[in-house]
Amino acid sequence: MERQALNPLVAAPDARLQRLRRFAQWMDAEFRVPFTPLRIGLDPIIGLVPGLGDAAGALLAGWILVEAVRLRTSRATLIRISGNIAADALIGAVPVLGDALDVAWQANLRNVALLERHLGDPLRASSSDRRFVVLVISGVGTLSLALAVGGAFLGAALLGAILP
């Protein structure tokens, strides 16, 4: 037990979580928009910089992923955290609409919540995350198959219309 307490990667997960919570708050919901219940953080503000803003936000959000790896979070939870970072970057890259959706998505707060849930009950969180990952992969696979079949039918119809 003593060796584990000396290991900086295992020691003081509460202090790490507190820093991550504060970081996520600053990035996603630190400032209240006057006369509204809406809260924004630095992430959507940084995202306003064309081209680089969303990449910078994703890079900063990567700190939560690095800490999750250091805290030995399950692979399924790491995949969900990575997915949230990727979705935040992709959604934010859409001009104007992406910035509005970025305010609502709040990927950093979601990721810290995922990490806290995993650390609180690792077995239950891992099982839930695995089911989620399987569901997402199944959905993407089904969508890909539907697009391939639809493309094949469209291609056959176009060929039928072009060729006598």
Residue spans per domain, the chain: 2-123
Q: Angle formed by the axes of helices 107-120 and 13-28, to 10°?
A: 160
Region 112-132: mean pLDDT is 83
Residues 74-89 as b or e (16 or more Cβ within 10 Å = b): bebbbbbbebbbeebb
Nearest to 46 by CA among 102, 108, 111: 102
Region 126-139: mean pLDDT is 79
- Per-residue pLDDT, 99: 82
Query: Can you tell me the distance from the alpha carbon of 17 to that of 73, in angstroms, rounded to the nearest whole number?
Result: 13
Contacts of 130 (CB under 8 A, 6+ apart): 74, 76
Region 50-56: mean pLDDT is 87
- Per-residue pLDDT, 12: 59
Task: Specify which residues 39 forms β-bridges with.
Answer: 32
pLDDT per residue as tens digits for the range 97-107: 888 888 888 99
Region 113-121: mean pLDDT is 89
- CA-derived radius of gyration, the chain: 21
Q: Which of 7-11, 71-75, 152-156 has the lowest mean pLDDT?
A: 7-11
Region 76-104: mean pLDDT is 88
Q: Which of 37-51, 53-67, 115-129 has the lowest mean pLDDT?
A: 115-129
Query: Can you tell me the distance from the alpha carbon of 47 to that of 66, in angstroms, rounded to the nearest whole number?
Result: 21
pLDDT band at 23 (very low <50, low <70, confident <90, very high): very high
Tokens, residue 150: 């639809």
Nearest to 111 by CA among 65, 71, 76: 65
pTM (two decimals): 0.73
The residue ranking higher by pLDDT, 107 or 133, is 107
91 and 104 Cβ atoms separated by less than 8 Å:
no
Query: Can you tell me the distance from the alpha carbon of 23 to that of 61, in angstroms, rounded to the nearest whole number?
Result: 9
Is the pLDDT at 7 greater than 50? The verdict is no
32 and 77 Cβ atoms separated by less than 8 Å:
no
